[in-house]
Amino acid sequence: MSVPTSADKPPRFAPKPPWLKVRAPGGESYGRLKETFRELDLHTVCEEARCPNVGECWSEGTATVMLLGDVCTRGCRFCAVTTGDPRGAVDVREPEHVARAIARLGLQYVVMTMVDRDDLLDGGASHVARTVTRLRELRPDILIETLLGDFGGHLSYVDTTVDAQPHVWAHNIEVVKRLQRRIRDVRCSYEQSLAVLRRVKERDPERITKSSIMVGIGEQDDEVEETLADLRTAGVDLVTIGQYLRPTPKHAPVDRYVTPEQFARYEQKAKELGFAFAASAPLVRSSYKAAEVFVKSVLRPGDPEAAKSLLSERLAEAQAAAARIDGEAGGVPRTVSELASRAAASLIPASSLVRRAPEV
């Protein structure tokens, strides 16, 4: 296996290839959702990460929200999220607030992601689980995906999030095995990522699992195929593959711009390995067209027209459900005191705040 030399790498200020250029987001649906997110003080990863697919996903009723703040305890070389020590700070009202806010939006699919919180005794698992559970109470129609960290290998914390029953449980392996130590934080590992994905299937064999790979960051094509095979062996159902783009000059450089043709070959390989669905293209991100992926792979596999029709029906139902919730109190707490009371009632017991050794 040959490793690219510096002569093979694209110049630092070279223009991006044409297949990486997208039209700026806009339209009535995009504008309405953007305004509503601000009114509800709900911040989306779609905007903060400047995702190129934000307009497309929002128009289809899909969005990704961040839980547990915006300071990550890990420092991966591909990620622009602020690294630091949150010192255990957690807004106990967030599960109720986020669930209530999302319930009022006309979304048919929401991705809940999180920063790594190694400063918390359970890594934030119970916080995520409460958010998922509350949203399911408010909007039984909505599809929920959780895109989570590895919880430091503590599999009981993985169990906590699985037991909340998100429709899809996702964790990104990010890069091929050889690049893990160079690109990801030292507390991450290829084996640990595979272990948590396997654990989800062990805990709940019916739970849909998902992962994502970045390319163009120093890997070889055969290594991508090897990673796909390892993910499939771990029971992963859905996979996305997309082009790495450098957030700032401080982050890992782009090694190459992978062509659309090569992405098509990755997708074909994923299908041969038995993934229920694979999205592989330059602008694909881990939550790319998540509602469509779920419907096509789980609800209407092998029938594109039926999937398209169901997506439209689900979006209309989601908008109607959100309008009903937005127009009435319906027992949803509206004041700070009500939120605090509900949060206090769901505080985790002290016995659960003891860090245990990773399970095997």
The arithmetic mean of pLDDT across residues 176-199, rounded, is 97
H-helix segments, the chain: 28-39, 45-48, 54-59, 94-103, 125-138, 155-162, 180-183, 190-203, 221-233, 260-273, 290-294, 304-326, 336-345
pLDDT, residue 56, reads 60
- Judged by average pLDDT, the poorest of 35-39, 186-190, 307-311 is 35-39
283: helix, coil or strand? coil
pLDDT, residue 8, reads 60
pLDDT, residue 319, reads 84
DSSP string of 157-199, one letter each residue: HHHHHHTT--SEEE---BS-GGGHHHHS-TT--HHHHHHHHHH
pLDDT at 73 over 70: yes
pLDDT, residue 290, reads 82
Q: Which of 56-70, 176-190, 346-360 has the highest mean pLDDT?
A: 176-190
Tell me the binding residues. Answer: 46, 51, 57, 72, 76, 79, 287
> What are the residues whose beta carbons fall under 8 Å from the beta carbon of 329, sequence distance 6 or more?
none
- Judged by average pLDDT, the poorest of 215-224, 299-308, 322-331 is 322-331
Give me the chain's average pLDDT, please. Answer: 84
Amino acid at site 227:
T
Tell me the binding residues for [4Fe-4S] cluster. Answer: 46, 51, 57, 72, 76, 79, 287
The arithmetic mean of pLDDT across residues 270-285, rounded, is 94
> What are the residues whose beta carbons fall under 8 Å from the beta carbon of 231, sequence distance 6 or more?
173, 194, 197, 211, 239
pLDDT exceeding 70 applies to what percent of the chain?
76
pLDDT at 264 over 60: yes
Greater model confidence, 358 or 41: 41
- Judged by average pLDDT, the poorest of 166-180, 246-260, 344-358 is 344-358
238-243 and 82-83: which strand pairing? unpaired
pLDDT at 29 over 70: no
